[in-house]
Amino acid sequence: MGRNVVVTGGGTGIGLATARRFAQNGDDVTIVGRRREVLVEAATELGPRVRPIACDLADPDAVESLLGDLPSRVDVLVNNAGSREIGVGAGPHAVVARWRGDFERNVLTAVLLTECVRDRLTPGSGRVVTVSSIAALRGAGSYGAAKAALHAWNHSLAAQLGPSGITANIVAPGTVAGTEFFGGRLDEAEAVRRSGRTLVGRIGVPDDVAAAVCFLASPDAGYLTGEILNVNGGELLGR
């Protein structure tokens, strides 16, 4: 029987590649993001097993409304939604906007939905996989700090869910091209520069990360919880 999978940010980039893998595996996949048209286009491409639902996952009212549309049993929750605030400015308002924005888009999106569906996670086999970033491990202002907060949160989540046989893990990607993350700022020269920082001589593609997410979500990964899996081509070595 196919599993019920929820992938946040599943309309683009890493989330889209992840949703595609689950759908190809025969799972029923709900993809969530803010832009309905992007989600509908993705679901049309991925086929009838994929259901698009628009929701701002940083908005508690929107998440509350979303709950009625989600499956009553969730086998896999992939907290992938997130982005980096590219705000400039040093005044107090700019600083607050940048830090609050990065916290809301990267931390609240994951924490809110997970807290709201935790009672629906399947005992004995449920999986939570959250996408953080290499930025959490080597620093990158408010974005890196927000992603690092996910690591601390995941430690306690794994401890809370472990007795029910549910795992909670993090995937921390390095640079991944072919997503909306860089908004056009990852040009050829920057891609070459970043490739040179890896051990394998290339930056990542969304499917590199999707493969890691799907492994952590698989039945084979049941003895792996509270971990941070780096997917960065050797740019930053495991610690």
* Site for ligand NAP, rule CB under 6 A: 8-9, 11-15, 32-35, 38, 56-58, 80-83, 105, 109, 131, 133, 173, 175-176, 179-181
Residue 61, φ and ψ in degrees, nearest 5 = -65, -40
Q: In whole angstroms, how close is the CB of 164 to ligand NAP at the nearest point?
A: 26
CA 129 to CA 226: how far, in whole Å? 10
Residue 202 Rama label (left phi>0; alpha psi -120 to 50; beta): beta
Q: In whole angstroms, how close is the CB of 80 to ligand NAP at the nearest point?
A: 5
- Cα distances from 179 to residues 16, 164, 168, 185, 186, in angstroms, run 9, 35, 25, 11, 10
Distance of CA 16 to the CA centre of its chain: 11
Q: Quick one: which of 154, 119, 123 has its CA closest to 222? A: 123
Tokens of 53: 């639902």
Q: In whole angstroms, how close is the CB of 50 to ligand NAP at the nearest point?
A: 14
Of 31 and 121, the one with the shorter C-beta distance to ligand NAP is 31
- Which position's Cβ is nearest ligand NAP? 13
C-beta separation of 144 from 93 below 8 A: no
Of 103 and 126, the one with the shorter C-beta distance to ligand NAP is 103
Using the structure block, give the residue that is written with the tokens 């990607």: 173
Q: In whole angstroms, how close is the CB of 155 to ligand NAP at the nearest point?
A: 19
Q: Quick one: which of 24, 38, 31 has its CA closest to 5? A: 31
Of 121 and 146, the one with the shorter C-beta distance to ligand NAP is 146
Catalytic position from the list 22, 103, 143, 153: 143
Q: In whole angstroms, how close is the CB of 161 to ligand NAP at the nearest point?
A: 21
CA 26 to CA 77: how far, in whole Å? 16
Active site residue 143: yes
First to last CA, the chain: 37
Of 4 and 109, the one with the shorter C-beta distance to ligand NAP is 109
Of 41 and 125, the one with the shorter C-beta distance to ligand NAP is 41
Residue 122, φ and ψ in degrees, nearest 5 = -70, 120
Residues with catalytic annotation? 143
